Structure 1
Amino acid sequence: MTVNTNILFQNYFSDVKNYDEVINSNLIINSNWENLLENLTNIGIPQLKLKQNEVNWLMAENGVTYNIYNDPKGLNRPWNLNIVPFLIHENEWTNIKKGIEQRAELLNLVLKDIYGKRELITKGIVPHEVIFAHRGFLRQCDQIQYKTSKHLLIYSADLARGPDGRMWVVNDRTQAPSGMGYALENRYSISRVIPDIFKNINVKQAAGFFYDFNQMLVESAPQNQQDPNIIILTPGPHNETYFEHAYLSTYLGYPLVHGNDLVVRNKKVYIKSLKGLKQVDVILRRVDDAYMDPLELREDSYLGVVGLLDVVREQNVTVVNPIGSGVLENSGLIPFMNHICRFFLNEDLILPQIASWWCGQEKERNFVLNNLTQLVVKRIDRSHRESIYFCEFLTLSQLEELKKAIQSNPYSFVAQEKIFFSTAPDFVNDQLEPRKVTCRTFAIAKQNGYSVMPGGLVRVAPEREDLYVSNQRGGISKDFWIISDEEQTTIQNYTWDKSFRISISDINDLPSHTAENLFWSGRYLGRALVTARFLRMTLNRMNDLQFNEQQTESDNLQYIYQAITNITSTFPGFVGKGKEIALNNPLKEICGLILDEKRFGTFAQALNSFNNSYYSLRNLWSKDMWRVFDSIQKTWHKFKEDNNYSISELIKLLDKIITRLIAFMGLIEESIMVEQGLLLYFIGLQTEQAMMNIEKCRALLVFNHEEHLQYQILESLLTSHESLNIYRYSYRSYLSVENVIKLILLDEKFPKSLTYQLNRIQKDIDNLPHSNTQDNLSEPQKYIYKAKKVISDTTINLLLELNQDGSLRQNLDDLLSVLSDLLNETSLSISNTYFNHSQQQTQLVNQDFPSSI
């Protein structure tokens, strides 16, 4: 088929210099791409623009992110997916698949040999410096035996089209390969947004691969349990691929845990749940090797499990992939892979590699130094991924520095020929443009070999001339199609035998870190909501009085300002030393209380804390919750960018965020069941609301005022409490301190009253797992029961009594002070009982693990 130079392709062929996936040098279209290009042409530019925008929107709506540190766009950058897929025909893929299977098996044997007999070294096939000088080689893993079918259970290969038109292996990924979750999300998004693009194209599905993935996890359990306890270990929400960790946790149904959720006892690994310890059989890890056991490896790590390696040696837990497998991510092995393949498998490599020269050998080193400008130089450690030298672009002084580095430490360097990746079409600027492309596919161990994903993850360079394809550098992804001449099912049934699953669905088994984040997400959400409502009420009062910087004479506002500082603990504020500064410009102080994320007690700080706890739990929440969460972030950031901090705009901001926070609260109850941890969220929410309820009452009810001022203060309190209408409907009377206390503090049926909140906390705490104690009450129960008794024993008349000079209600203040202390003790005892993580153990001898590993 000859190129159709319509508007969709008008600039595509103007600068094609290298191998292109779509066209050849004679401008003839690859027949495998004909149906796709026809579909794109039929859809048309206007619809393609619309669909690309829909894909971008869907990525943001579903919270598909790739975390980039120090990114001006923010930590959680939306995942970039181009609507034009990348495809390979099954006829070509069959050979690639065989090459991936071969390479996975070969690296499996290499891993077994490195930590076993080390025949590759003793027989002179691989120089010992290639292994021992690589930071991924962990002597602590030497001679560890495994009962699994393979040592290397997951393998990932980065592929690129070489100058000969064949797919070459660019990199091996063996520690904790990422991308499977993103590949799933890419396929889901494209099939949902632009189904017409699949017309007359038979795209192979990955259902069988993920069945094999789950089965591999189950079968790798040490004692061949029918229902093993499988967990996914994550470094945490700031990791660049945390979205994928949460995605796979939700998709597979296995709990996502942090290192401090786990503990070693009696040479076994246990997950710390609310009730006690539960043995773990399989750990699918997303934590790098050196951080997995701070007792034997990096002692400064908070990501791993103290004593884990000893459990692995005892074969009481399976870690996928094994600790120490990072040594295979070693470009120093590439020059020797053909010899290794012939040694282990008695055959040649099926997939070609980039020609490479290890500088630890004199002949190869001299070649590299004499031809440096024609080569790409890198260190053998993947940890130095930023230290890649495209030598043709270096200055003379930079070349000299690199030569000196190679000569002083030759074992650490590998040089590779410069190859130009093939290009594939991207829909950019209302047309198709060529972009350099790399592919990543995955292999999963089976009893008799490896299962290879039909497709995987494709990344393309963001600009035409970019040589480097990287997500950290702004790369874009594509859906990866393996197309067939045979008709394929269009439904992706990612299911497996139910006997292969075990899910933690009972609160007794809830991981302690998850439980803690549920508790604190409730507390932060409650704090943010109460603070926002009080600040909104204050701004409305200021607005009602036609407030400006010169008009500050309002007794009502003076007391409200003081209450703000006391409720939020943002001292000195309106009450401490230098309060005159805040009182002279109240709007400036209130702006800070709303927007300052670094100041403890502000609304911004509470919202930011809630965001962090929410993001740590994103595997539990629904997509609707992410959409509400995302809308809060967008509203917040847009307001700060607009930089309009007038009273009316601040009120609008708080109105929008309060509405979304309330929507979020409603969705939480739909997201997980009470038995799965919602109970902890409820306790945290009610505890925080009760504590802030107390602070509001202490600030606005304790002091006695003249009638008119008292009325305004009571009205302000009820307004901030969203209870003014309830009060009027219930009492149908002039506002009085007596009735306000009855409603806000003592009413057992009003959900926003302190008595109701204490009853709810007590009821929920009673449903937490409790150890059998002599008096049958846990510490949290003792404190909350005492708080309930204190408030139930009081009387309204006692609380209304004034002191001798008639200025304050001392009994009310004393009651609120006692209740505040008891609630604080309740919260602390919950943390000590259920969330108290074991102290970090330390090594007897410090070991040198460079920080860049």
Structure 2
Amino acid sequence: MTVDVKDPPRPAPLPPPPAPGFAAGYVPRTANADEMVEADGSLRPHWRMFVSMLDDMGRAEVTRRWEQARRIIRENGITHNVYGDPNGLDRPWNLDLIPLLMPADQWRTVGQGLTQRARLLDRLLADLYGPAESIALGLLPPELVYANTGYLRPCHGIRPPKDRWLHLYAADIIRASNGQFMVLSDRTQVPSGAGYTLENRIVLSRTLPTAFRQCNVQRLAAFFMTLRQTLVNLAPANRENPRVVLLTPGPYNETYFEHAYLARYLGYTLVQGNDLTVRDGKVFLKTLSGLQRVDVIFRRVDDDYCDPLELFGGSFLGVPGLIEAVREGTVAVANALGSGVLQAPAILSFLPQLCRHFLGEELLMPSVQTWWCGDPNSLSYVLDNLSRLVVKPAYPTRGSDPEFGTEMTRDRLAQLASRIRAHPDRYVAQEQIETHNAPVLLSDQGSGPHVQSRRFVVRSYLVADGNGYDVMPGGLTRVTGSTDTLIVSLQQGGGSKDTWILSDGPVGDLTLLASASQPVELSRGGGDLPSRVADDLYWLGRYVQRAESYVRLTRAIFGRLTDPSVIESPTTIEALVHALLGRSKLGVGGKPDPSSNRRRQGAPTDRELVGEVFNAADRAGLRATIRHVHALARVLRDRISADAWRILQTIERDVADFNVNVDDDQVPTVLELLNKLMSGFLAFGGVAAESMTRGQSWRFLDMGARLERAGAIARLVNLMLVEADPAEESSLLDAVLEVADCSLTYRRRYLTQLEMPAVVDLLLADETNPRAVAFQVAAIEEHLRALPHAAAHPRQNPDLQAAMRLRGLIGLADIQSACDLNASTRPGLEKLLKDATEQLGAIADAVSQNYFSHATVSRRLIGPGEDRVG
């Protein structure tokens, strides 16, 4: 989202306006070209109430509200990604506390111009992919179509449902210094930002609720209700209850948060390209119970990436065969494939004559003056005036910034002119417009909040409704990152504003409710779960449980480092450290070197251990595991609750912010963090257990956690007890019970006596103990029996068979004999644990093969040092 607007050299600033409070001292960048103040410095009428309410709050309260807004943004995980920036993933959304205010009468004028423009562009798309009158009559040069990479030849001759090409349209608009609104660019392919607009509104209406109500701000819900109904009406079949999906490029797209948010808000399934498949000319969603027909695709994937068979062959984001299905009329795509051709800036200069031809009307809202250099007269003008124009590619080009003639030296201007002469059809030039500016709330250290004038651009949205278009009563306003920045771009440090269209009277409440035209059949199912989503939920459960097990083990180690009795039993700490690092032996003969006894003062051992635990490069470490958790949570934004997301966000932030340079006497700081992380894991488990319906999503999340917990307990017992020295047995058993969170259960059952068979039985074979391996296996078996494949063929499923074998293996095991000591080891216990681990691996393999059809590599019960595959 990059906008190139630059003002010419501005005159001397006006004196501070006489307005009180926050407006006092406000200096517009350009005289008589500011949204908040008049030329004489007084407040514009529609700003007076809002500014007055800010003044009544006072600076301290405004600062508190501002922090509250930032906290809401952080807790809700409102983010955007910056391409090419290693720190660009999940960058917090930048929302200004001061909205852009606009009277209803002004917005009606804007709406009329944009509605006409949307109708024109829709007609033009139908013409370009049909009879091409505009080209035949010389209204549009053929080079701007056929040399345009946005023109999709495979889509020629396709007629979309209801002959409507443009379902969601957006325009970037500015206001010139004379007050006239102008279109800077058209967004016809996959207009982004509508979800951020809605999120901006939610945050600001919660932060400034009284001002929002008293200013009579028009609501946005009706716009999204129309959008949802428009998409439903596109369905070529199954019209009563069509399946609509939102197609996203994936979590690394710059606006992925918006995709997940809109999918949740509109009630659609969020899918990626590999979630869909084309069979017999129809599009299907791959789910656990089979293929489910898709009727409408609301896409956020660019045109040329949508079908690797007929478009860009290197795309992994699209659906092979999608154009075939569109051609057959079995699926509707919004916006229609090929609509990106009209985003070419060069087309702007031809819109007035196209409007007269197709609509018989004059263009109501002009574009910024644009010259296409492929026209000889325009080329001559551009070369003569290059030093005061803005030059950009004639066709949409990714990653290409505009070039400002006013900023160039004589040599650079000459080089640019040479490039234009060599390929004039590839360039356009636009006039630099002196634009209106808007107030932005800033905070300098020590000075508190103050207001500064910044350039801004509004992205306005329209949705098809019947034969016309409805205009969103608002939009995504973007502001520059500084007063001297020439480009309005979120990617380059800019910010956003909520856009308040002020109604002439009171505004009624409206929410996004389901259409009441037809009653919805009652259902207690959650819909069929896409196999990729099931895979992600399964691995989220595993990684969360893996991180929890890691923290429990680490906490037991550091807890003992602060215990004065540790010096008497160094074996226990060494055993715990070896278990943490994944080693299979306690040491030579099972006994540690006496010289390795820990000293809590002056020795670097504790500091080294902290470094091991929080080593970012360790694939088996805590940081790497939490990164996996965070990555999966991002992908599942539309599947997990806001509370669950906030919990996982807090966990990730706490680990990322922790300073690894901890001195020996700061071990309690590590313990404090570990306790906080443990509270987070328990909170996430509680949300999953108490808030998720017992459908397929919950089953795969819980099954992943159960598999991981069973494996962790089995490894813990193997590493700590198989070769336990009888002299140290009591201390080791106590540590194992603590790590497994079974100390209280054991004490109630056996009082103070610690016996090896009793501990092993509690941790392995007790199906009433939620921490035991047997408990996990019983729960896994229950999940597997409830899944679609098991219900169809219960005796043919290797995952269910492996679970049943493992349950019998543990249930029939002679724990007493397995714990018998033979020399320095317990071979019976070692074999039992080895067999159990193999069966857990068999379950994991079979689950992967049966349900995650997109995975290319089967996986055993992988250890902490291995990554997820597929």
**TM-score when scaled to structure 2?**
0.90
Alignment deviations for residues 252-278 of structure 1 (CA, whole Å, 9 cap, x no partner)? 111111111111111111111111110
Matches within 5 A, 1:306-385: 306-385=320-399
Q: Could you tell me whether the CA contact under 8 Å between 1:275 and 1:508 is conserved in 2?
A: no
Matches within 5 A, 1:152-551: 152-198=166-212, 200-223=214-237, 225-429=239-443, 430-489=449-508, 491-498=509-516, 499=518, 506=525, 509-544=528-563
Alignment deviations for residues 291-336 of structure 1 (CA, whole Å, 9 cap, x no partner)? 1112222222221111111111111111111121111111010111
CA drift at 1:838: 7.8
Q: Does 1:566 align with 2:585?
A: no
Q: AA paired with 1:446?
A: D
Give the SS at the match of 2:219. coil
Deviates more, 1:394-403 or 1:824-833: 394-403
CA drift at 1:696: 0.7
CA drift at 1:196: 2.5
Give the SS at the match of 1:216. helix
Name the structure 2 match of 1:139.
Answer: 153
CA drift at 1:539: 2.1
Deviates more, 1:503-512 or 1:468-477: 503-512
Q: Could you tell me whether the CA contact under 8 Å between 2:17 and 2:27 is conserved in 1?
A: no
**CA separation of 1:742/1:59 partners in 2, compared to 1, >3 Å: closer, same or farther?**
same
Q: Could you tell me whether the CA contact under 8 Å between 1:359 and 1:415 is conserved in 2?
A: yes
CA drift at 1:100: 0.9
Q: How many residues align?
A: 825
**CA separation of 1:433/1:775 partners in 2, compared to 1, >3 Å: closer, same or farther?**
closer
Q: Does 1:786 align with 2:805?
A: yes
Q: Could you tell me whether the CA contact under 8 Å between 2:244 and 2:296 is conserved in 1?
A: yes
Q: Could you tell me whether the CA contact under 8 Å between 2:242 and 2:295 is conserved in 1?
A: yes
Alignment deviations for residues 650-705 of structure 1 (CA, whole Å, 9 cap, x no partner)? 22221211111111111123443121510111100000000111111111121141
Q: AA paired with 1:301?
A: S
**CA separation of 1:614/1:14 partners in 2, compared to 1, >3 Å: closer, same or farther?**
closer
CA drift at 1:17: 4.1
Give the SS at the match of 1:472. helix
Name the structure 1 match of 2:777.
Answer: 758
Q: Does 1:812 align with 2:826?
A: no
**CA separation of 1:776/1:44 partners in 2, compared to 1, >3 Å: closer, same or farther?**
same
Q: Could you tell me whether the CA contact under 8 Å between 2:388 and 2:406 is conserved in 1?
A: yes
Give the SS at the match of 1:59. helix
CA drift at 1:827: 0.9
User: Distance in 2 between the 1:266 and 1:644 partners?
Assistant: 66
User: Distance in 1 between the 2:19 and 2:183 partners?
Assistant: 34
CA drift at 1:73: 5.6
Q: Could you tell me whether the CA contact under 8 Å between 2:126 and 2:163 is conserved in 1?
A: no
User: Distance in 2 between the 1:492 and 1:464 partners?
Assistant: 38
Q: Could you tell me whether the CA contact under 8 Å between 2:309 and 2:320 is conserved in 1?
A: yes
Q: Does 1:556 align with 2:572?
A: yes
Gaps of 5+ in 1: 841-853
Name the structure 1 match of 2:864.
Answer: none
**CA separation of 1:311/1:593 partners in 2, compared to 1, >3 Å: closer, same or farther?**
farther
User: Distance in 1 between the 2:525 and 2:182 partners?
Assistant: 48
Q: AA paired with 1:85?
A: P
Q: AA paired with 2:513?
A: T
Tell me which of 675, 687, 701 is aligned to 1:681. 701
Give the SS at the match of 1:44. helix
Q: Could you tell me whether the CA contact under 8 Å between 2:17 and 2:26 is conserved in 1?
A: no
User: Distance in 2 between the 1:32 and 1:5 partners?
Assistant: 14
User: Distance in 1 between the 2:217 and 2:274 partners?
Assistant: 42
Q: AA paired with 2:842?
A: E
Give the SS at the match of 1:27. coil
User: Distance in 2 between the 1:526 and 1:619 partners?
Assistant: 21
User: Distance in 1 between the 2:619 and 2:648 partners?
Assistant: 22
Q: Could you tell me whether the CA contact under 8 Å between 2:17 and 2:41 is conserved in 1?
A: yes
**CA separation of 1:665/1:358 partners in 2, compared to 1, >3 Å: closer, same or farther?**
same
User: Distance in 2 between the 1:45 and 1:451 partners?
Assistant: 39
**CA separation of 1:230/1:135 partners in 2, compared to 1, >3 Å: closer, same or farther?**
same
User: Distance in 1 between the 2:41 and 2:696 partners?
Assistant: 59
CA drift at 1:7: 4.2
Q: Could you tell me whether the CA contact under 8 Å between 1:378 and 1:389 is conserved in 2?
A: yes
CA drift at 1:627: 2.4
Tell me which of 622, 626, 631 is aligned to 2:650. 631
Q: Could you tell me whether the CA contact under 8 Å between 1:218 and 1:500 is conserved in 2?
A: no
Q: Could you tell me whether the CA contact under 8 Å between 1:261 and 1:513 is conserved in 2?
A: yes
Q: Could you tell me whether the CA contact under 8 Å between 1:620 and 1:672 is conserved in 2?
A: no
Q: Does 1:44 align with 2:58?
A: yes
Alignment deviations for residues 119-140 of structure 1 (CA, whole Å, 9 cap, x no partner)? 2222211111112222211222
Q: Does 1:619 align with 2:633?
A: no
Q: Does 1:692 align with 2:708?
A: no
**CA separation of 1:139/1:585 partners in 2, compared to 1, >3 Å: closer, same or farther?**
farther
**CA separation of 1:28/1:588 partners in 2, compared to 1, >3 Å: closer, same or farther?**
closer
**CA separation of 1:682/1:85 partners in 2, compared to 1, >3 Å: closer, same or farther?**
same
Gaps of 5+ in 2: 1-15, 444-448, 858-870
Of structures 1 and 2, the one scoring higher in RCO (CA 8 A, sep 6+) is 1
Matches within 5 A, 1:702-781: 702-707=722-727, 709-770=728-789, 776-781=795-800
Name the structure 2 match of 1:832.
Answer: 849
Deviates more, 1:148-157 or 1:767-776: 767-776
Alignment deviations for residues 749-788 of structure 1 (CA, whole Å, 9 cap, x no partner)? 1110111111111111111112676663412101111111
User: Distance in 2 between the 1:501 and 1:385 partners?
Assistant: 46
Name the structure 2 match of 1:847.
Answer: none
Tell me which of 74, 90, 98 is aligned to 1:60. 74
Q: AA paired with 1:55?
A: A
Name the structure 1 match of 2:686.
Answer: 666
Alignment deviations for residues 602-657 of structure 1 (CA, whole Å, 9 cap, x no partner)? 12221111111111111122222232222223322321387668433222221211
Q: Could you tell me whether the CA contact under 8 Å between 2:194 and 2:476 is conserved in 1?
A: yes
**CA separation of 1:161/1:503 partners in 2, compared to 1, >3 Å: closer, same or farther?**
farther
Q: Could you tell me whether the CA contact under 8 Å between 1:294 and 1:300 is conserved in 2?
A: yes
User: Distance in 1 between the 2:568 and 2:205 partners?
Assistant: 60
**CA separation of 1:696/1:270 partners in 2, compared to 1, >3 Å: closer, same or farther?**
same
Q: Could you tell me whether the CA contact under 8 Å between 1:215 and 1:500 is conserved in 2?
A: no
Give the SS at the match of 1:232. strand
User: Distance in 2 between the 1:606 and 1:305 partners?
Assistant: 32
Name the structure 1 match of 2:838.
Answer: 821
User: Distance in 2 between the 1:137 and 1:81 partners?
Assistant: 36
User: Distance in 2 between the 1:737 and 1:537 partners?
Assistant: 19
Give the SS at the match of 2:100. strand
User: Distance in 2 between the 1:589 and 1:140 partners?
Assistant: 61
User: Distance in 2 between the 1:670 and 1:74 partners?
Assistant: 34
CA drift at 1:242: 1.4
Q: AA paired with 1:284?
A: F
Give the SS at the match of 1:81. coil
Q: AA paired with 2:617?
A: K
User: Distance in 2 between the 1:203 and 1:106 partners?
Assistant: 30
Alignment deviations for residues 530-551 of structure 1 (CA, whole Å, 9 cap, x no partner)? 011111212222333698xxx9
**CA separation of 1:437/1:14 partners in 2, compared to 1, >3 Å: closer, same or farther?**
closer
User: Distance in 2 between the 1:375 and 1:395 partners?
Assistant: 14
CA drift at 1:517: 0.9
Q: CA RMSD in A?
A: 2.8
Q: AA paired with 2:843?
A: T
Deviates more, 1:201-210 or 1:99-108: 201-210
